[in-house]
A = this chain, B = another copy of it.
């Protein structure tokens, strides 16, 4: 097995186990079993369980965020509201029932770890700030294009949008019902429309 492959297999296994159980309750033994390697391999690539968790955030989850939100929103467009709505719809379509039950990986980790581990908090914070900034820029761009209401504060609105998205995911996760996500998302889409001119 190629060295990079083993590291990647470990990261993926860790991501799934952490997504399922949370970081603190994620068992290294379970991760190793899922990855099909032993403890020697893990501690060859990562200094500690915490370091593994950081890597999952910085490499796996960060990629998800980029693919679903940052990259699409970075593309130039003449209609940012539609762009945002497309992002939302697309992100929703990617999720199956299991994903709903497990919730947003970023939010899960942020909620669990930010109060008790500074390293996690700093890393989730960076990712949220990127997310907020990207949406804020899109809204600002929309204002300059005359497609977004000028009486809204882009930063504040971006914060509200992300909060609402995470909230929708939370409600759907607890209800274990994708229909809840869709109903919630529908209201979000209406709200996004209300930002247009």
Contacts and interface: CB of A to CB of B under 8 A. Distances in A.
B166 A170 contact: yes
- Oligomeric state, in copies: 2
Interface in A22-72: 22, 24-25
Interface residues of A, number: 45
A102 interface: yes
B173 A163 contact: no
Interface stretch (A9-17, A74-82, A85-93, A107-115): A107-115
Contact of A24 (B24, B101, B156, B174): B24
Contact of A25 (B25, B103, B121, B159): B25
A41 B42 CA distance: 42
A176 B128 CA distance: 13
A40 to B, nearest CB: 27
Contact of A103 (B115, B124, B191): B115
Given A24-B22, A115-B101, A187-B157, A110 B163 contact: no
Given A167-B162, A191-B191, A175 B24 contact: no
Nearest to A155: B183
A130 interface: no
A128 B174 CA distance: 9
B175 A170 contact: no
Given A164-B164, A191-B191, A111 B183 contact: no
Interface in A156-197: 156-157, 159-160, 162-168, 170-171, 173-176, 180, 183-184, 186-188, 191, 194
27 contacts: A21-B24, A22-B112, A25-B25, A102-B115, A103-B111, A107-B111, A110-B170, A111-B173, A112-B112, A115-B173, A121-B176, A124-B174, A125-B174, A128-B174, A156-B183, A156-B186, A156-B187, A159-B171, A159-B183, A159-B187, A160-B164, A160-B188, A162-B171, A163-B164, A163-B171, A166-B171, A194-B194
